[in-house]
A and B are shown apart, each in its own frame.
Chain A
Amino acid sequence: MVEYAIEIDNLVKKFGDFTAVNGVTLHIKKGEIFGLLGPNGAGKSTTINMLLGLIPPTSGNILVDGIDMQKNPDKAKQEIGVVTQETVVEPELTAEENLMIFGRLHHIPASELQKDIDFALELSDLTDFRNKYAGTFSGGMKRRLETAKALMHAPQLLLLDEPTTGLDIQNRTQIWNLLRQINKRDNVTILLTTQYLEEADQLCNRIGIIDHGKLVALGTPAELRQKIGMSAVVEVAAAKDYLDKIASAFKKVGLDPQVLTNKVIASGGNAPVDKVDKLIKALTLNKIPIHGISMHEPTIDDIFLKLTGSSTRDQTGADNSKAAALMRRGR
């Protein structure tokens, strides 16, 4: 019995001069729900693509359930179920046909295929829609079908690339429950990437943050908060024009401000309540209008921001687009 569902050691991927993944080592135990976070162009997708056997690493090892992805890709791929970022259920095929095709691509024996299809339809709550074309489904139904499709061949590892992007809160909760259910019942290891930090916070046992091709943080959400040494966060939201004035008020009361697009934040340090009290007085005295002021526990978002200097949703930045262009062109 192998202890780890995924063992990634010293993984490196270079596209020409550009190093997309720079020595990532990551071991994920069986039965974990692991969240991989990182800004766009950080090396997240490249890591995932190597894990899926789509692109070969420049150096380093990947073991899936103890099977080497490079040496034995067919066997390793059998242990992985994938839900890609694009929902790739075929709209011109019925729910059942979609499952049948992927069941056959995963080499499920013909004698078991129908049983597995029925199971997948039940799991995704689509039994009544089995003969309906997937093109007529809602976004949530498609995502459920996609997830069931990925689980049909009973993989050890379920890999989801931004599984809930674009879904409303109701569908998102449904997907989360589905993931928790299969993780608990079948002990399926789940690796997901996400832009929603609250998703990682709520769903994942452990989180890894990747930036500039390196794993910059790893641990449970609670561990990460501790490790980063962030105390309570002080946050003042205001109109753009006043942010500089607010920042100088922060400095006066002994806070180290970070100016964002519509707010100023700072780590509270020692005695944050005192500082907030002084801050409110300073803002009132200078008649600076604000939209809101708060003090709260650091969220994953705060940790992420501190580590990578950008929000997960921040998609601009010359650095990232250059990296993306290189990845498309490179080989």
Chain B
Amino acid sequence: MGLAEDTLTLFTREMLIFKKNLLQNLSRGLIFPLVFIILLGSFGSTPKNVPVAVVNYNNGPMSLQLINLIQSNNNVKVVSATTQAQAMSLLSQGSVAAVIVIPPVLSQDSASSIYVYLDNSQPQSASVVNGAVSLAAAKLGTSLVTSSIGSAPNIISVITDYAYGAGSNYESFVVGGIVIMVAAFGAMFGSGFTVISDRELGNMKAFLTTPINKYAVLFSKIGYGTVQSTFSAYVGLIIGLLLGATIAAGIVGFIELLWIIGLVGLSFGALSVAMASKAKQLQTYALITQTITMPMSFLGGAFVPVSLLPAILQPVAVVDPLTYAVNATRDIMIKGYLPVSMLVESSAILLIFTGVMIALAAFFFRDTSQQI
């Protein structure tokens, strides 16, 4: 007749209700991945089909070769223009992202320049054009040098090799963050939200009139929040995989992710129960949870790598438990390998956070007159 048994009874109740509302719970896991992958697009990846206007004043074989090389790059789409003025007006209208002007004189013997006018209001597009032109020019220069002089060009070649994350894509990066955010938000709904709604509906009072250990209410809510958030996060993960994300660590990674996601659900379940035990109204609770969970997700690098955060915020990420969870999911999904030390570190931090939150929840919950 102990705490464990009472917790199990109340947890059973939550799970029966969960089963009844399965469809609703399923949809909760769908929204974030769909929004971030489909609607937001490939925010971090290379733009495709960036329109550029090319003005060719040279019309020699070399310039045509150059244009062909630029055209062969899938990232840009060449639009021809007859005069520079016409091309510039296309640029000012925003019809093209850049204007490339090939001067009348173009030769590999003497120094000659190709002019590229960029619209940097779309920095990603601008850098793609810059890259495409440089690449084409380099290729052109290299091949000409090779054919005319017949000796190896004097170039220091840089050999790059992706030690980790060779098969990485934007989807894997963003899904790694999304599953953590979905888990955190899911726990807010599963745990704290139901504490408040049970209180408003009078269920809490009914539970407390039975001879149960009152803390069983807290533990069952945390348990349910963990299950619900893990479920939602896995729905999100599966959607992400269908949309192109990959788990580099394979099946083992799928299981490792369960552990990390479960811990996030547990710790945020505990956090939300602590807040729900104190917040009197649903509105207050919703405000507090959003104010906490949103910044924590962003600071933890769920969407943008921590290294891209403003310098003054980077130290804050160190104390955000989600940082460790997001790092772990990225390692599993992109690197394909979660070092044991990192597994221990992230688990320990999330468990300590959980412990502190449970203590806080129990402290707020000790006076049941505040809960009825």
Task: Say yes or no: A49 contacts B369, CB within 8 Å.
Answer: yes
Task: Say yes or no: A54 contacts B12, CB within 8 Å.
Answer: no
* B211 partner, pick from A56, A74, A331, beta carbons under 8 A: A74
Residue among A53, A93, A104 with max Cβ neighbours from chain B (10 Å): A104
* A105 partner, pick from B6, B16, B20, beta carbons under 8 A: B6
- Counting CB contacts under 8 A, is A251 at the interface? no
- Give bound CA distance, A105 to B211, whole Å: 7
Of A76-84, A190-198, A221-229, A317-325, the one contacting chain B is A76-84
- Counting CB contacts under 8 A, is B207 at the interface? yes
* B210 partner, pick from A75, A90, A102, A328, beta carbons under 8 A: A102
- Give bound CA distance, A118 to B211, whole Å: 22
The residues in A between 29 and 78 inclusive whose CB is less than 8 angstroms from any CB of B are 49, 52-56, 73-75, 77-78
- Counting CB contacts under 8 A, is A301 at the interface? no
Least CB separation from A330: chain B residue? B369
Residues in B with CB closer than 8 Å to A56 are 369
Task: Say yes or no: A92 contacts B201, CB within 8 Å.
Answer: no
Task: Say yes or no: A93 contacts B206, CB within 8 Å.
Answer: no
Task: Say yes or no: A106 contacts B201, CB within 8 Å.
Answer: no
Query: Given A49-B372, A84-B206, A90–B12 Cβ distance below 8 Å?
Result: no
| Size bin of chain A's contact surface | 20 to 34
Residue among B202, B203, B209 with max Cβ neighbours from chain A (10 Å): B209
- Counting CB contacts under 8 A, is A260 at the interface? no
- Give bound CA distance, A55 to B372, whole Å: 9
Least CB separation from B208: chain A residue? A54
Task: Say yes or no: B211 contacts A75, CB within 8 Å.
Answer: yes
Residue among B203, B206, B212, B372 with max Cβ neighbours from chain A (10 Å): B206
Task: Say yes or no: A92 contacts B369, CB within 8 Å.
Answer: no
* A86 partner, pick from B1, B10, B202, beta carbons under 8 A: B202
Least CB separation from A105: chain B residue? B210
- Give bound CA distance, A97 to B12, whole Å: 10
Per-position contact with A for B21-36: 1 when CB-CB < 8 Å, else 0?
Answer: 1000000000000000
Least CB separation from B12: chain A residue? A101
Task: Say yes or no: B20 contacts A92, CB within 8 Å.
Answer: yes
| Size bin of chain B's contact surface | 20 to 34
Per-position contact with A for B176-193: 1 when CB-CB < 8 Å, else 0?
Answer: 000000000000000000
Least CB separation from A93: chain B residue? B16
- Give bound CA distance, A67 to B205, whole Å: 21
- Counting CB contacts under 8 A, is B368 at the interface? yes
Least CB separation from B202: chain A residue? A86
CB distance from B118 to the nearest CB of A (A): 58
- Give bound CA distance, A86 to B369, whole Å: 17
The 17 sampled A-B contact pairs (Cβ below 8 Å) are A49-B372, A53-B208, A54-B209, A54-B372, A55-B369, A55-B372, A77-B209, A78-B211, A84-B206, A92-B16, A92-B17, A92-B21, A93-B16, A105-B207, A105-B211, A331-B367, A331-B369
Give me 19 other A-B pairs in contact (C-beta within 8 A), A73-B211, A104-B12 excluded. Answer: A53-B209, A54-B208, A54-B209, A54-B368, A54-B372, A55-B368, A56-B369, A74-B211, A77-B210, A82-B206, A84-B202, A84-B209, A87-B202, A92-B20, A97-B13, A101-B10, A102-B206, A105-B207, A107-B5
Binding site for A on B (CB under 8 A): 1, 5-6, 9-10, 12-13, 16-17, 20-21, 201-203, 205-212, 280, 367-370, 372
Binding site for B on A (CB under 8 A): 49, 52-56, 73-75, 77-78, 80, 82, 84-88, 90, 92-93, 97, 101-102, 104-107, 133, 328, 331
